């Protein structure tokens, strides 16, 4: 596995760089993201570089600038620390840097950077550390140690709050108030332009010479949208100056804020600022250890630790970006960059949700409560289109927003005209995907309390939307779904996209089942929902429409047509696009209108359908469809590899499975230094975990319950992991010759159509 | 004279740098500004650097962002050209740069940069040229020549329109439309957020290999707020690639725009793009030569050419920033940076207007028509304060705006609390300054057409304001003016600031004179104005109030008190602040409240009064007041040196005069590399010209007409200059022993109280 970032052979929890490599800074900024599900900060360096992209976000604080799509506004920067040594500004691009090492500790989210810097005659040792606290969601702490090695030096340190940041040139904030309190605390209060979310950012610095704290007030420097504290200190050779920056960030939509925001922040920071960096880090590490890693466990014994690092990295990013409360979701790039503007897609339900519900179901619970709140927006969107029920937005921001997808994209490469983005109006399968996610969650966790309070209603709202969206085609004597974009986004006006139709069919059928079941078994919930729907009428409509919905059946070769026309389109050789680093390479040869009429698939489409519906579709057609679609797929999406890897493993193409696993791990961690600059690919990272657990680990929630049917790569000695299945902690060990299962509660599982019962704490071992 | 920028001994029209010196880029950006009174562009480098501040403005297109003060919005950048050589980005911070030279030709406004760049094994010669056209106010043309010296190379050139620029983090523009036309022209259309000024920026590129034009379409690259054209060319050793960028900028407030902005720009650029860089430069140079330099002439023969360069530089900046039409004014920093937001101050009338009216009176005419239009805003401001007539804004932006000064400044250095900026409400002398400027213009030019149509009305509106602003003090039995800020801005609540009171007295008296004169000699104008004022009542009020206005007389030592309390304040030694490079050094020791009670003067105050009113105040008190105030003045303003230099020359302190002349030239051109980063000091530059012409050249418009009473520095052989006096071109030559005057029309002038008559083309020579 080729990584574009350094790793250590003996450390499964470290990624980093061993030379400054400032030209690729923006990739490292994404990869070395720090967050806690509230606050997210890119791994920019403390000092400034030309191609840096400083981003800090607070989840759920969307703002819309004029005619642009709503997005997470990029907050004033608090990471900055500028250091002058005898009047010369520290920069890795000048002078001579040796012993450089910068790493992100995936286990506790701390970034550590150390190096020696020689500039002129002055040599100094620098050590930077920082973290975003998992223990206090508002807190960021940063520490610098500087030791002059050759002579006494004068150090000037400038650190503060820099509100000149933008989202790619867009400024969401008004020029705020900048204040100094108690001669030591600097604060900026500001507000988003349109959503009027208020923010307070406060910073406090402490300085130590060796072990002695200096009582030094800063010289204040105020510029436009900026407030800085300046310190000037003479440090003797071999003395160590420690500079600690404590910063907190509050937003007016926080639940733990009182009226006087500015004073609350100040109070908290005064309190926190009494503790040492180390102590605050320990509190944060403790949460990572106790509340996260102990509840999620994956161990891969392989000939090298790259697969282990990849899965650790994926889990780190997923947890660092998982909302700490239920009014927020996870953007396609989390908070790791400005890509996709912080919006949530079907990526959440189809790719990320499985990770959370099998590891820490409370996170999955939060994500689905968000979708319950999001019914407000989804109902709005359905009404706007003239439909019933709820139509989830393709891109979701605030729960009450109907659709947040941008309307216009780049100019057409050939005509030069701006292109309309149709996803928001046409990529409608997300409404089935959300329902599907809800049902998977209920099945995996057995959380019927959620089902009754919210889950069933979400599914019914979606089903009702679909019942109003399908149209009757008298020629084929079926309902059909026309003019959609399926997972293969190269086809912008597909009729009866197989993935969409099957998902919709499932959704309406499931809706009907739920109503029938509630009427029989839970009249309280039934009558509550009956106030929102005419349940009798709805169940009738759902049964009728689902039973008469056109579902493209496998043809004589076992192939399910991706849509009505796909199989009739021209075939081309796509090899050169599959091997290109530039995922949009194909657009140099074809524009979207041309791609619309070619048998070229952007990403897993029919194959994803076969993976999600392995229970319902004949297993023997998977290989045939793989052989048909896989060579036509150019994986111009990070959602594609994981599906291919898992399916390949399922059908015994083990080398291809591992190949796709590697490709998936390399989406962000690989050597393509342009791939993640606007943020990492959250669904791709979830895909890494899915390939390991659902693919190699063989974990699947099927109709009859938990299936465990593992097959690990030939280079792996074993794979060990834990998961939560309906409230039980289940530990699975897979080797080349056997696998074993232990559970803390009674469970059963299926292996090759055979049901195994597991008693609490009793190991069931099965030879493969 | 010490300059912080390189000059050439044998070139009076060149400033530049002979090494990249990228740390001081932002100073050079201001100094090497290019503009034509419509469009203004800072001298940023084509490639990007960390501390660059790219600014491009179109005069008069103000926009107000939320709670901030209105300002000239920073337009999308069109200067950018990124060049990759065999995949490596050209940057002066990497590789090895030799033979570096970059200069601004002050004679035609062209920037030329050339150097050799060695990166790895590739050595290339680069030559960049560019200009903002004086012939076509919308046009910017840029040319790069690249010659590989060591081997064949692949060059990738990226050039386009980059709308990610901000005003210090504030984004004034909506995300615009980005388009490609005819496969070659890239265009961005955008609009200011609030003032809704539309802009269209269009770019077109041509490439030549040696003399052969390449027909090469760009690869389009569209990012957020950005559109770039990318070219990739293989260039053989010793071949020369020429890359020409044509760009134009139109705004919806232009008078030469039709309905279809986007097409107008495209048409114009298609037309212009057929010409060569050289031909378009020649057209622009021709305008500089014929319409500007021939009409304004200054020659200094000194032991070195620094004084000549300084005065050429001053004239260059003044003309490059002078509005090409009458609805705009000149900001305190012109368009050379974001400082003072493009706002015009009293700087225009008191410091810049003399330059324009004695050189090219049509520019002065434009500036005063602006003030006539600005009566709308000034009347609004008067009404807001409960006053009559017109009160000009301390900071003027759009003519219809009442006051554009910001309300809040930095936090207090001691308390940390934001400080209110009182200038907008309290620094009211500007309303007398504008009237003073108007009258000076009429006196100098004899333009009575302007006087009758606009000028008298401005003076009367101002006089009416003053009549309503003065208050009766029964203790002293006079009218007085309380709670003002005079030129010495350290005194924020001065009563009877001498400068203000004398100016106001002059204004009311002049208003009364005008009414009396019109009633006797011009009943048409009188009755037109009588419709706007009750002229009888007004003249009575003006005579009464001006005659009873308290005017601080010289005390027993000849000192005019700066205000009622100044002379009673504590004196301190200010030497350390006078010698500091950091003009705000004094704020480290005192805050504004403390300064308010000290005999410390920020800038020429009483001394400026003595200079402007030399006709009306006794000449023999100048020296006494100089001795009193000069040592207490710390020149924390670029407006201070020129007054001191001229006065010193007047009273025979010739060394001090030259010393202050040098200091004044060094405001921008000097070695303080932090002084001009937010833009050059337009009034300081006008001051350079004023010292030369009004000071050393001894030109003054006094009560009885033109006075010429020169005395040039001892190191100068001669000073030659032209000026326009009441429509006559007057050439003056001053040497150490005599001076001579030639005029193309009949004039008279005063020298030491003696009147000399000059017949057309007849030289009058006077021995000194």
Q: Say if A690 falls within a structural domain.
A: no
Tokens linked to A324: 């700490």
Helix (H, G, I), strand (E, B) or coil at A473: strand
Query: Do the Cβ atoms of B679 and B30 come closer than 8 Å?
Result: yes
Nearest to B50 among A50, A171, A588 (CB): A50
- Rg of chain A (C-alpha set): 27
Contact yes or no for A179 and B417 at CB 8 A:
yes
Q: Is A180 on the interface with B (CB under 8 A)?
A: yes
Residues from chain A contacting residue B220 (CB–CB below 8 Å)? 411, 413, 416
Nearest to B411 among A167, A179, A410 (CB): A179
The pLDDT confidence band at residue A443, using thresholds 50, 70 and 90, is: very high
Active site residue A489: yes
Q: Is A196 on the interface with B (CB under 8 A)?
A: no
The Cα A65–Cα B193 span in angstroms is 10
Q: What is the distance in angstroms between the Cα of A277 and the nearest Cα belonging to chain B?
A: 27
H or E element in which residue A323 lies: none
List the single best residue of B224, B341, B418 to mutate versus A (max A Cβ within 10 A): B224
- Sign of the dihedral defined by the CA atoms of residues B387, B392, B397, B398, in that order: positive
Q: What is the distance in angstroms between the Cα of B555 and the nearest Cα belonging to chain A?
A: 42
A728-735, strands of its sheet edge to edge: A298-302, A716-725, A728-735, A738-743, A764-767
pTM of the predicted model over 0.90: yes
Q: Is B171 on the interface with A (CB under 8 A)?
A: yes
Q: Say if B350 falls within a structural domain.
A: no
Residue A706 predicted with pLDDT over 70: yes
The pLDDT confidence band at residue B254, using thresholds 50, 70 and 90, is: confident
Residue A17 predicted with pLDDT over 80: yes
Tokens linked to B280: 């378009």
Residue B650 predicted with pLDDT over 90: yes
* pLDDT score of A567: 97
CATH code, B209 = 2.70.98.40
Nearest to A66 among B193, B220, B227 (CB): B193
Residue B295 predicted with pLDDT over 90: no
Helix (H, G, I), strand (E, B) or coil at B426: helix
Q: Say if A510 falls within a structural domain.
A: no
Q: Which residue of A has its CA nearest to B170?
A: A171
Q: What is the overall mean pLDDT for chain B? A: 95
For the stretch B574-608, pLDDT in tens is: 988 888 777 678 888 888 889 999 999 999 999 99
Do both B270 and B364 map to the same domain?
Answer: no
Mean pLDDT, residues B64-76 taken together: 95
Residue A641 predicted with pLDDT over 70: yes
* pLDDT score of A381: 98
Query: Do the Cβ atoms of B326 and B369 come closer than 8 Å?
Result: yes
Q: Which residue has the higher pLDDT, A409 or A137?
A: A137
Domain end marker among B258, B274, B290: B274
Contact yes or no for A67 and B164 at CB 8 A:
no
Q: Is B407 on the interface with A (CB under 8 A)?
A: no
Residues from chain A contacting residue B165 (CB–CB below 8 Å)? 169
**Count of structural domains within chain A:** 2
Mean pLDDT, residues B460-469 taken together: 98
Picking from A434, A451, A454, the residue whose alpha carbon sits closest to that of residue A521 is A451
A152 contacts: CB under 8 Å, gap ≥ 6: A234, A235, A236, A237
Q: Is B169 on the interface with A (CB under 8 A)?
A: yes
Which of A79-88, A579-588, B319-328, B493-502 bottoms out in mean pLDDT, i.e. has the lowest? A579-588
Classify A368 in phi/psi space as left (phi over 0), alpha (psi -120 to 50) or beta.
alpha
The Cα B678–Cα B29 span in angstroms is 9
Domain end marker among B256, B274, B292: B274
* pLDDT score of A585: 81
Interchain CB contacts (distance < 8 Å): A and B? 110
Residues from chain B contacting residue A224 (CB–CB below 8 Å)? 167-170
Nearest to A222 among B66, B224, B411 (CB): B411
Picking from B548, B542, B547, the residue whose alpha carbon sits closest to that of residue B473 is B548
Residues from chain B contacting residue A174 (CB–CB below 8 Å)? 65-68
Pairing of strands B747-751, B705-708: parallel
The Cα B352–Cα B354 span in angstroms is 6
The Cα B414–Cα A483 span in angstroms is 66
- Chain centroid to CA B117: how far? 36
Residue A410 predicted with pLDDT over 90: no
- Residue whose tokens read 């903002």: B132
The pLDDT confidence band at residue A578, using thresholds 50, 70 and 90, is: confident
* pLDDT score of A260: 73
Residue B544 has a CB neighbour count (10 Å cut-off) of: 14
C-alpha distances out from residue B543 to A22, B511, B537, Å: 72, 9, 10
Nearest to A193 among B50, B66, B93 (CB): B66
Residue A259 predicted with pLDDT over 70: no
Q: Say if B163 falls within a structural domain.
A: yes
Query: Do the Cβ atoms of A579 and A503 come closer than 8 Å?
Result: no
Q: What is the distance in angstroms between the Cα of A115 and the nearest Cα belonging to chain B?
A: 21
Residues from chain A contacting residue B183 (CB–CB below 8 Å)? 416
Q: Which residue has the higher pLDDT, A586 or B570?
A: B570
Tokens linked to A178: 């900048």
User: Binding site annotation covers A603?
Assistant: yes
- Chain centroid to CA B686: how far? 8
* pLDDT score of B414: 67
Mean pLDDT, residues A466-470 taken together: 98
* pLDDT score of A257: 64
Contact yes or no for B181 and A416 at CB 8 A:
yes
Q: Which residue of A has its CA nearest to B411?
A: A179
The Cα A4–Cα B658 span in angstroms is 63
Tokens linked to B746: 């009949």
Picking from B655, B731, B650, the residue whose alpha carbon sits closest to that of residue B698 is B650
What ipTM score was computed for the predicted complex, to two decimals? 0.92
C-alpha distances out from residue B488 to B602, B604, B609, B664, Å: 5, 7, 12, 18
A570, A576, A581, A586 alpha-carbon torsion, rounded to 10°: -30
- List, in sequence order, every residue forming a beta bridge with A484; answer none if it has no partner: A494
CATH code, A727 = 2.60.420.10
Expressed as residue numbers, the domain containing A761 is: 697-768
The Cα A758–Cα A765 span in angstroms is 10
Residue A569 predicted with pLDDT over 70: yes
Q: Which residue of B has its CA nearest to A185?
A: B416
Do both B374 and B264 map to the same domain?
Answer: no
DSSP secondary structure string for all residues of A237-280: TT--EEEEEEEEEEETT-TT--S-HHHHHHHHHHHHTTS-HHHH
Q: Say if A235 falls within a structural domain.
A: yes
Query: Do the Cβ atoms of B83 and B146 come closer than 8 Å?
Result: yes
Q: Is B214 on the interface with A (CB under 8 A)?
A: no
Catalytic residue among A349, A489, A541, A694: A489
Residues from chain A contacting residue B224 (CB–CB below 8 Å)? 167-170
Q: Say if A174 falls within a structural domain.
A: yes
Q: What is the distance in angstroms between the Cα of A418 and the nearest Cα belonging to chain B?
A: 7
Pairing of strands A56-58, A139-148: unpaired
Cβ-defined contacts of B612-616 (< 8 Å, 24+): B612/B350, B612/B436, B612/B503, B613/B502, B613/B506, B614/B650, B614/B700, B614/B702, B615/B702, B615/B703, B616/B502, B616/B506
* pLDDT score of B415: 72
DSSP-assigned letter for residue A315 = H
DSSP-assigned letter for residue B587 = G
Q: Which residue of B has its CA nearest to A88?
A: B23
User: CA triplet B43, B44, B50: central angle to 5 degrees?
Assistant: 150
Catalytic residue among B489, B492, B630, B662: B489
B148 contacts: CB under 8 Å, gap ≥ 6: B122, B123, B124, B235, B236, B237, B238, B239
* pLDDT score of B67: 86
A745 contacts: CB under 8 Å, gap ≥ 6: A727, A728, A729, A760
- Chain centroid to CA B205: how far? 33
Domain end marker among A253, A268, A295: A295
Q: Is B752 on the interface with A (CB under 8 A)?
A: no
Q: Is B24 on the interface with A (CB under 8 A)?
A: no
Do both B120 and B243 map to the same domain?
Answer: yes
- Chain centroid to CA B529: how far? 33
Do both B366 and B514 map to the same domain?
Answer: yes
Helix (H, G, I), strand (E, B) or coil at A3: coil
Nearest to A169 among B49, B166, B219 (CB): B166
Window 46-85 of A: residues touching B by CB (8 A cutoff) are: 48-50, 65-68
User: CA triplet A344, A349, A352: central angle to 5 degrees?
Assistant: 85
* pLDDT score of A296: 87
Residue A194 predicted with pLDDT over 80: yes
Q: Which residue of B has its CA nearest to A166?
A: B169
DSSP secondary structure string for all residues of B225-280: TEEEEEEEEEE-TT--EEEEEEEEEEETT-TT--S-HHHHHHHHHHHHTTS-HHHH
User: Binding site annotation covers A13?
Assistant: no
Q: Say if B299 falls within a structural domain.
A: no
Q: Which residue of A has its CA nearest to B48?
A: A50
Helix (H, G, I), strand (E, B) or coil at A363: helix
Q: At what angle do helices A535-547 and A523-530 cross, to 10 degrees?
A: 90
Q: Is B567 on the interface with A (CB under 8 A)?
A: no
Picking from A93, A80, A101, the residue whose alpha carbon sits closest to that of residue A6 is A101
The pLDDT confidence band at residue B670, using thresholds 50, 70 and 90, is: very high
Q: Say if A224 falls within a structural domain.
A: yes
C-alpha distances out from residue A498 to A203, A376, A437, A467, A554, Å: 54, 29, 19, 17, 10
Q: Which residues of A200-215 are buried (b: 16+ CB within 10 A; e: fewer)?
A: bbbbbbbbbbeeeeee
Nearest to A225 among B164, B168, B226 (CB): B168
3-state secondary structure string, B11-64?
EEEEEEECCCCHHHHHHHHHHCCEECCCEEECCCCCCCCCCCCCCEEECCCCEC
The Cα B11–Cα A62 span in angstroms is 57
Picking from B730, B729, B692, B725, the residue whose alpha carbon sits closest to that of residue B711 is B692
- Residue whose tokens read 């620390």: A81
For the stretch B616-639, pLDDT in tens is: 999 999 999 999 999 999 999 999
Residue B264 predicted with pLDDT over 90: no
The Cα B332–Cα B405 span in angstroms is 12
């Amino acid at each position: 596995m080729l990584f574009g970032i350094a790793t250590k052979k003996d450390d499964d929890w470290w990624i980093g760089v061993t030379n400054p490599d400032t030209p690729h800074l923006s990739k490292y900024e994404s990869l070395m993201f720090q967050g806690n599900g509230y606050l997210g900060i890119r791994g920019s360096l403390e000092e400034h570089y030309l191609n840096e992209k400083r981003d800090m976000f607070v989840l759920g604080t969307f703002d819309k600038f004029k005619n642009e799509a709503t997005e997470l506004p990029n907050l004033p920067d608090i990471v900055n620390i500028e250091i002058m040594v005898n009047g010369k500004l520290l920069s890795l691009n000048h002078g001579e840097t040796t012993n450089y090492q910068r790493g992100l500790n995936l286990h506790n989210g701390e970034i550590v950077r150390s190096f020696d810097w020689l500039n002129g005659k002055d040599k100094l040792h620098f050590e930077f550390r920082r973290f975003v606290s998992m223990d206090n969601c508002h807190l960021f702490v940063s520490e610098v140690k500087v030791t002059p090695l050759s002579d006494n030096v004068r150090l000037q340190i400038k650190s503060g709050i820099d509100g000149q940041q933008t989202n790619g040139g867009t400024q969401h904030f008004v020029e705020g108030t900048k204040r100094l309190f108690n001669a030591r605390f600097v604060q900026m209060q500001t507000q988003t332009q349109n959503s009027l979310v208020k923010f307070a950012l406060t910073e406090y610095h402490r300085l130590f010479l060796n072990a002695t704290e200096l009582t030094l007030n800063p010289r204040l420097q105020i510029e436009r949208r900026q407030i800085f504290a300046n310190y000037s200190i003479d440090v003797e050779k071999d003395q160590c100056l420690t500079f600690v920056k404590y910063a907190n960030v509050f937003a007016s939509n926080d639940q733990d804020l009182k009226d006087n925001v500015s004073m609350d922040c100040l109070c908290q920071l005064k309190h926190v600022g009494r503790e040492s960096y180390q102590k605050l880090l320990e509190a944060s590490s403790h949460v990572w250890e106790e509340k996260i890693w102990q509840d999620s466990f994956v161990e891969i014994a392989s000939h090298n630790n790259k697969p282990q690092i990849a899965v650790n990295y994926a889990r780190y990013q997923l947890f660092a970006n998982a909302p700490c409360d239920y009014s927020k979701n996870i953007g396609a790039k989390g908070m790791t960059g400005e890509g996709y503007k912080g919006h949530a897609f079907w990526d959440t339900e189809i790719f990320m949700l499985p990770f959370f519900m099998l590891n820490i179901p409370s996170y999955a619970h939060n994500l689905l409560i968000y979708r319950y709140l999001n019914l407000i927006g989804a109902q709005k969107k359905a009404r706007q289109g003239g439909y019933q029920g709820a139509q989830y937005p393709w891109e979701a921001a605030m729960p009450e927003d109907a659709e947040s997808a941008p309307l216009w994209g780049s100019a057409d490469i050939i005509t030069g005209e701006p292109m309309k983005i149709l996803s928001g109006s046409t990529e409608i399968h997300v409404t089935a995907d959300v329902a599907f996610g809800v049902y998977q969650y209920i099945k995996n966790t057995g959380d019927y309390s959620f089902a009754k309070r919210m889950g069933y209603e979400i599914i019914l709202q979606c089903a009702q939307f679909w019942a109003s969206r399908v149209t009757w085609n008298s020629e084929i004597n079926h309902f059909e779904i026309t003019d959609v974009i399926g997972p293969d986004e190269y086809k912008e006006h597909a009729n009866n996209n197989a993935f969409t139709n099957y998902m919709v069919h499932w959704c309406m059928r499931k809706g009907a089942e739920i109503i029938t079941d509630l009427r029989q078994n839970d009249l309280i919930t039934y009558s509550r929902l009956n106030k929102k729907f005419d349940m009798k009428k709805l169940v009738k409509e759902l049964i009728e429409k689902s039973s008469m919905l056109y579902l493209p059946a496998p043809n004589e070769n076992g192939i399910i047509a991706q849509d009505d026309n796909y199989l009739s389109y021209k075939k081309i050789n796509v090899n050169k696009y599959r091997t290109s680093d530039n995922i949009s390479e194909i657009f140099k040869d074809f524009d979207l209108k041309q791609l619309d009429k070619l048998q070229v698939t952007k990403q897993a489409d029919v194959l994803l359908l076969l993976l999600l519906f392995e229970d319902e579709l004949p297993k023997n057609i998977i290989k045939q469809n793989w052989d048909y679609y896989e060579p036509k797929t150019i994986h111009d999406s990070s959602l594609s590899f994981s599906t291919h890897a898992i399916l390949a493993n399922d059908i015994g193409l083990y080398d291809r499975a591992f190949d796709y696993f590697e490709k998936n791990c390399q989406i962000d961690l690989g050597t393509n230094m342009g791939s993640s600059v606007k943020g990492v690919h959250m669904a791709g990272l979830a895909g890494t975990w899915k390939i390991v657990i659902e693919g190699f680990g063989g974990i699947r929630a099927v109709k009859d319950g938990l299936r465990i049917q593992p097959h690990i790569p030939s280079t792996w000695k074993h794979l060990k992991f834990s998961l939560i299945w309906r409230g039980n902690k289940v530990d699975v060990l897979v080797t080349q010759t056997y696998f074993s299962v232990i559970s803390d509660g009674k469970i059963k599982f299926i292996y090759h159509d055979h049901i195994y019962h597991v008693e609490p704490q009793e190991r069931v071992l099965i030879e493969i």
